[in-house]
């Protein structure tokens, strides 16, 4: 009787070891560093990165259009200089500046 039990236990050891190894690999296939969960997280990060890239690329294209519009015959250089000086509140050294008196308060 003891021999039969011992024989059955020894016969059960290899399948138990192989099941344990299979369980380990199955767990790693789902939860491991390169498992299904990690791949889903990487796909989400990739989708976010692509969306960020698309937004930045669209903004870059807008700026390229604005820069192209500033060059060539599209705008007169003196008008560009005038607008830049107006925005910067600056005057050219060759400009004649006349201070006007402040308007009286009513």
Phi, psi of 44, rounded to the nearest 5 degrees: -65, -45
Q: Would 97 be classed as within a structural domain?
A: no
What is the Rg, in whole angstroms, of the alpha carbon atoms belonging to the chain? 38
| Structural domain boundaries, residue 15 | 6-71
Average model confidence (pLDDT) across the chain: 89
Q: Would 26 be classed as within a structural domain?
A: yes
**Number of structural domains the chain divides into:** 1
Phi, psi of 94, rounded to the nearest 5 degrees: -90, 0
| pLDDT for residue 66 | 81
Global pTM reads 0.52
- Contact call for residues 30 and 36 (beta carbons, < 8 A): yes
Q: Would 82 be classed as within a structural domain?
A: no
- Rounded Cα gap, residues 97 and 3, in angstroms: 115
* 7 vs 73 pLDDT, higher one: 7
- Rounded Cα gap, residues 99 and 76, in angstroms: 28
What 3-state class would DSSP assign to 96?
coil
91 has a pLDDT exceeding 90: no
* 69 vs 43 pLDDT, higher one: 43
């Amino acid at each position: 009787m003891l021999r039969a039990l011992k024989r059955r236990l020894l016969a059960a050891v290899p399948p138990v070891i192989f099941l344990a190894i299979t369980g380990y690999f199955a767990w790693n296939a789902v939860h491991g560093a390169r498992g299904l969960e990690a791949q889903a997280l990487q796909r989400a990060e990739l989708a976010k990165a692509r969306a960020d890239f698309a937004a930045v690329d669209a903004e870059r294209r807008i700026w390229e259009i604005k820069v192209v519009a500033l060059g060539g015959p599209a705008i007169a250089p003196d008008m560009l200089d005038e607008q830049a000086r107006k925005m910067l509140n600056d005057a050219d050294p060759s400009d004649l500046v006349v201070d006007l008196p402040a308007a009286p308060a009513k």
